[in-house]
Amino acid sequence: MYKSCFYILFFGFSISLFAQNKSLKDYEKELNELSLEIVNNDSDKSKYKANEEFKSLLLEVLNMKGSFEYEFKKIQAISILKSNETIKLYNWAIPKKDETFEYCAFLQIKTDKDTYKIVEFTDKSDEISKPETKTLSNKNWYGALYYNIIYDKKLGKDTYTLLGWDGHYNLANRKIIDVMTVSSNGSVRFGSPILKLGKKAQRRVIFTYSETAVMSLKYHEKDKRIVFDYLVPTASNLAGVFEYYGPSLNRFDAFVIDKGKWVYQQDVDIQMNRNLKDNFWKDPKGDN
């Protein structure tokens, strides 16, 4: 009996010691395996199961010393964006059998040298009507897969502009410009009304276009502006049917910063070079 108790205690101690000795690189490998299960598993049920395991492990890792500086480059099915040496966003998608997507994210806020506040975003896109007009929270988030985070003090010291992709449904995709505000106490809000189109200000801008098209929406650091394709229907009688919209190919519009707002400009003069990143963010189900 004493020998059995000894083995149990020794085995438990060994597991604990092994866990303590695991490096961020070890955790990164586990996280990558789970992230690929989320994308590649056959059923939605198995994808959600892998997602819960992924979230639990990632949350554990993000509270570890050095996690903010670690790049996690080997986690394939995730977007990681860092800004201002203060926040780091971990964002991924669950591709579902009905060809729609659910999005997940953790925001890691650095509060001290080795202490962090972690905020989870909960995707409620399906429940949000007129999202262009809504101020939202991390618990009521218009989900997307973000690929760029823009910080400019002219928009506010706690304000971040996000560019994202949304698979929407099987006939149409979306690109999204959203605005995230992170307060000093770690409270997160989405939808600051700084996106100005004419006299009207929106809280987010959503572009809907055909699943077969590739829309470019990029931030040009040199010019300090967000440049994007002007979308048109494939025929005049399809106006308003966004499943048939795509880039006009000869016109680009933009948002530029003016008096603390993103101001819309039509038909800007710019040379756009499409690259592999456009194709990647068209559809994360691909092999890229």
Q: What percent of the chain has pLDDT over 90?
A: 80
pLDDT of residue 5: 43
Query: Which range, of 34-38, 211-215, 247-251, 270-274, averages the lowest pLDDT?
Result: 270-274
pLDDT band at 200 (very low <50, low <70, confident <90, very high): confident
In a domain, 49, yes or no: no
And the tokens for 217? Answer: 């929406």
For residue 144, give the DSSP letter: -
Is residue 47 assigned to a domain? Answer: no
CA pair distance 163, 146, nearest whole angstrom: 6
Question: For residue range 20-67, what is the model confidence (pLDDT) as tens digits?
Answer: 578 999 999 999 999 999 999 999 999 999 999 999 999 999 999 999
pLDDT of residue 210: 97
169 within some domain: yes
User: Is 137 inside a domain boundary?
Assistant: yes
Q: Does residue 12 carry a pLDDT above 80?
A: no
| pLDDT at 222 > cutoff 70 | yes
**5-14, 58-67, 145-154, range with the lowest pLDDT:** 5-14
pLDDT tens figures, 164-178: 999 999 999 999 999
pLDDT at 129: 95
Distance between CA atoms of 276 and 278, rounded to whole angstroms? 5
Q: Which pLDDT score, from 0 to 100, does residue 20 have?
A: 56
Q: What was the pLDDT predicted at 285?
A: 39
- Please tell me the predicted confidence (pLDDT) of residue 199: 86
HSE value, Cβ hemisphere, 13 Å, CA-based, for 288: 14
Asked whether residue 29 is assigned to any structural domain, the reply reads no
Other Cβ atoms closer than 10 A to 8: 10
Question: Could you tell me which residues come within 8 angstroms of residue 47 by beta carbon, excluding any fewer than 6 positions away?
Answer: 37, 38, 39, 41, 94, 95, 96
Q: Tokens representing 102? A: 């659910």
Angle at 106 between CA 172 and CA 99, to 5 degrees: 25
- Within a domain: 203: yes
Q: Which two tokens stand for residue 188?
A: 């997160």
**Looking at the DSSP assignment, which residues form a beta bridge with residue 109?**
87, 117
More confident residue, 205 or 20: 205
Q: How many CB atoms lie within 10 A of CB 52?
A: 12
Residue-wise pLDDT tens digits, 275-284: 433 443 444 4
Q: Is residue 54 part of a domain?
A: no
198 compared with 282, residue with greater pLDDT: 198
The pLDDT score that the predictor gives to residue 16 is 43
Query: Which one has a higher pLDDT value, 21 or 255?
Result: 255
Instruction: Work out the average pLDDT over 217-222.
Output: 95
pTM for the model stands at: 0.87
Start-end of H helices in the chain: 2-21, 24-40, 44-62, 276-282
Residue 185 has a pLDDT of: 85
Predicted confidence (pLDDT) at residue 162 exceeds the cutoff of 80: yes
> How many domains is the chain built from?
1
Instruction: Please name which of 284, 158, 151, 148 lies closest in space to residue 227, comparing C-alpha atoms.
Output: 148
The enclosing H or E element of 51 equals helix 44-62
Q: Which domain holds residue 110?
A: 78-282
Residue 271 has pLDDT above 70, yes or no: no
Cβ partners under 8 Å of residue 81, min gap 6: 88, 89, 91, 146, 147, 148, 149
Q: Is 243 part of a structural domain of the chain?
A: yes
